[in-house]
Amino acid sequence: MTATPDELVGTPPTLADYLHLRAASGLTPRSEAQGRGAVTGSWRWSVVQHEGRAVAMGRVIGDGAWYFHIADMATLPEHQGRGLGRRVLADLLAQIDDAAPPDPYVTLMADAPGRRLYESMGFVETAPRSLGMRLAR
């Protein structure tokens, strides 16, 4: 029996897969309403499907001109360590390169588990020049 290959697609995951991937991979769980906005409101997606289900994902939000923020990089624990995150990130960066004018500004928030991957793909810390911040409520 031949193993089903993982398929990389540029379409968003289903809402159920998006919410499951976030929670199962250790990202903050989100509500259905929040997930629906993410699934429909992103600039670009890269999703790895295995047997028809999303097992890794990442998305880009931004203006499509010069500012691009990579978000929701997530891989199900049972699929980690196989290079799927690298594959997703490389695809997102290629989509930005293909569509953006020269010199796009590409950012992401680097949680500890992903830092090695992001650094290996050319991302650098912005501090002390700038520091990521969020509104605390």
> What is the per-residue pLDDT for 51?
92
What are 88-119's pLDDT values in tens digits? 999 999 999 999 999 999 999 998 889 999 99
Helix axes 15-25, 32-41, angle to 10 degrees: 110
Query: Is residue 127, in this structure, part of any structural domain at all?
Result: no
What range does the domain containing 99 cover?
A: 7-120
CATH number at residue 89: 3.40.630.30
Note the pTM of the prediction, 2 decimals.
0.92
Query: Is residue 34, in this structure, part of any structural domain at all?
Result: yes
> What is the per-residue pLDDT for 4?
58
What are 27-73's pLDDT values in tens digits? 999 999 999 999 999 999 999 999 999 999 999 999 999 999 999 99
For residues 110 and 132, the answer to whether their CB atoms sit within 8 Å is: no
**Rounded distance between C-alpha atoms, residue 65 and residue 135, angstroms:** 25
Count of domains for the chain: 1
